[in-house]
Structure 1
Amino acid sequence: MLLPRSRPTPAPPQKASCRLWATMGKLQSKLRHSTYKYSRPDGIIEERTQTNAFQEYSPAHVDTVSVVAALNSDLCVSGGKDKTVVAYNWKTGNVVKRFKGHEREVTKVSCVHKSDQFFSASRDRTVMMWDLHGSVQPRQHFSGHAMVVTGVAVSPDSSQLCTGSRDNSLLLWDVGTGQCVERAAVSRNLLWDLRQTRNRIREYKGHFQTVASCVFLPRALALMPVVATSSHDCRVKIWNRDTGACLSTLSLDGSGPLTSLAVGDTRSLLCASFSRGIHLLRVDHGPGLELREVAAF
């Protein structure tokens, strides 16, 4: 007995999208809808959807991006799970240089003020110093922690480096020699208050998952001092520093945890994410401060 032949189910129609490709395929432009919220002076919170031209550059990393820092007004330095440190021109979408040396994920990056030098920390328990115009090999190597290095800070004159780790230690290094000159044991939960007070100054309440980064924004951005935060809830928020009021919220849905923020210039923010690399955000003046995504790499 012959059975009736079943007809294949037609594939659902694909949604049309507006895209333009450059001749070399490096730059892809398309329309992106972003949702942001801002607080009006009368206290009412409004939500708006804005359609903007959006650019996708060649990605800086092939895996999760853990940290991003601004080297100067054109270049940023980032690190991630692919074990590399990348210098990237976020205005043109070009990789300037890739630095390889770490054996595990890069966790932190710290740039030397008004210099082309920077430091990277890693889960391989080391810190390395790099020079943008030097060799792709590290200029200096700092090894002394027993666990992942979670913090890096360089002195204003770049002669000393301080590192922190999950091994509950702080190490002070001589940058020139790469030698550890001082070691201190600290609690993981120790909070340093430079003013030696115990009063809470201000609380910024609005994220519903871990806040991973907080940066002060240039005073030229607004009439009041403002700060920006990024969170594992896929949101970036701008706050009035003095009152704690949330001035703007941008949702980067699908980007995964937002791990790091850096100030690019007086109107731009760089935001590292787990799933979609680095986002370039722009702060615009409207009825309030409007935060929108303009590019990713």
Structure 2
Amino acid sequence: MLLPWSPPCKVLCRSCAVMGKLQSKLKHSTYKYSRPDGILEERIQTKACQEYSPAHVDTVSVVAALSSDLCVSGGKDKTAVAYDWKTGNVVRRFRGHEREITKIACVHRSSQFFSASRDRMVMMWDLHGPSQPRQQFSGHAMVVTGLAVSPDSSQLCTGSRDNTLLLWDVGTGQCAETASISRNLLWDLRQTRNRICEYKGHFQTVTSCVFLPRALALMPTIATSSHDCKVKIWNQDTGACLFTLSLDGSGPLTSLAVGDTVSLLCASFSRGIHLLRVDYSQGLALREVAAF
């Protein structure tokens, strides 16, 4: 009669557990690179990615740059977080919304920013101000999905799934103008008859598009993020995809923000915020250097 022999299984399980712990410390990502001869190569990065303290305890919906070293993010934990992405330190947390934060808009060259939420509210915050919002904007009947601040910071425009655009006076918090729009309205931006460029390559919803600084690039470029877990860099004029970085295991990518001339911040469903570095030294490249 043969009896089951368990020790080897236990030893094997322990070995697997140890290997799992070691592998979990390495962040693998794949990317596609278009060579000058037109051949598309797929490469795998195996460098360890710096893990900072998480900014949020749940899905991150949006990230925006407040300054050259600070970003502000929001998500399902209903909290807006000011984070020093160069040191990995949380600077301050802002709580006031009752539901998920959907959008963040920062005031240029200021310590102030706006947050929009599924609670239909928009709040104005100051990094160096009190814990309460400086101003609140209430007027939408559904989730707020868009924020835009005027160049002089005196007006705020908000959009919502209630099919309205509202223009606000930032100083008083009063709505100055309301515009109703159709959910299916098509806006024609080709009044100047210039060629409109189309960027094809993502397989799922594109969630964000940003212009990259031209300080180091040889051509005007833009970056996009998508629910397909990919960040792509494009030639702005031709629409050619110059580089694709796949952030495997991160879930849908929800937002992009320019940190400085060589840094991008990318928010994701599963792994918080990624710090990406753009490298022009040996041809265009993009790699993940940290996550928080």
Quote how far apart the aligned CAs of 1:284 are. 1.0
| C-alpha contact (below 8 Å) 1:31/1:51 kept by paired residues | yes
| C-alpha contact (below 8 Å) 1:40/1:288 kept by paired residues | no
**81-90 or 183-192, which moves further after superposition?**
183-192
Aligned equivalents of 1:242 and 1:16: distance in 2? 45
| C-alpha contact (below 8 Å) 2:29/2:248 kept by paired residues | no
Q: Which secondary structure does the structure 2 equivalent of 1:108 belong to? A: strand
Give per-residue Cα distances to partners, 1:95-121, cap 9 Å, x unaligned.
000000000000000000000000000
Residue number in structure 2 paired with 1:226: 221
Larger helix share, 1 or 2 = 2
Tell whether 2:212 aligns with 1:217.
Answer: yes
Quote how far apart the aligned CAs of 1:287 are. 4.4
C-alpha RMSD over aligned residues: 2.0
Quote how far apart the aligned CAs of 1:222 are. 1.2
Aligned equivalents of 1:17 and 1:146: distance in 2? 48
Aligned equivalents of 1:77 and 1:66: distance in 2? 11
Match of 2:149 among 154, 157, 168: 154
Aligned equivalents of 2:88 and 2:26: distance in 1? 18
Give per-residue Cα distances to partners, 1:174-223, cap 9 Å, x unaligned.
10110111111012233444553577611111111111111000012310
Q: Which amino acid aligns with 2:224?
A: T
Match of 1:34 among 22, 29, 37: 29
Residue number in structure 2 paired with 1:141: 136
Residue number in structure 2 paired with 1:189: 184
Q: Which secondary structure does the structure 1 equivalent of 2:183 belong to? A: coil
Aligned residue pair count: 286
Residue number in structure 2 paired with 1:113: 108
Match of 1:62 among 57, 70, 92: 57
Aligned equivalents of 2:99 and 2:212: distance in 1? 32
Distance 1:269-1:275 versus aligned 2 partners, 3 A rule: same
| C-alpha contact (below 8 Å) 2:30/2:248 kept by paired residues | no
Q: Which amino acid aligns with 2:28?
A: H
Alignment of 1:155-174 (within 5 A): 155-174=150-169
Residue number in structure 2 paired with 1:293: 288
Give per-residue Cα distances to partners, 1:154-192, cap 9 Å, x unaligned.
111111100000000000111011011111101223344
Tell whether 2:271 aligns with 1:276.
Answer: yes
Match of 2:81 among 68, 82, 86: 86
| C-alpha contact (below 8 Å) 2:28/2:248 kept by paired residues | no
Aligned equivalents of 2:249 and 2:43: distance in 1? 19
Percent identity between the two aligned chains: 81
Aligned equivalents of 2:228 and 2:193: distance in 1? 29
Residue number in structure 2 paired with 1:237: 232
TM-score by length of 1: 0.91
Residue number in structure 2 paired with 1:44: 39
Match of 1:248 among 243, 246, 259: 243
Structure 2 gaps of 5+ residues are: none
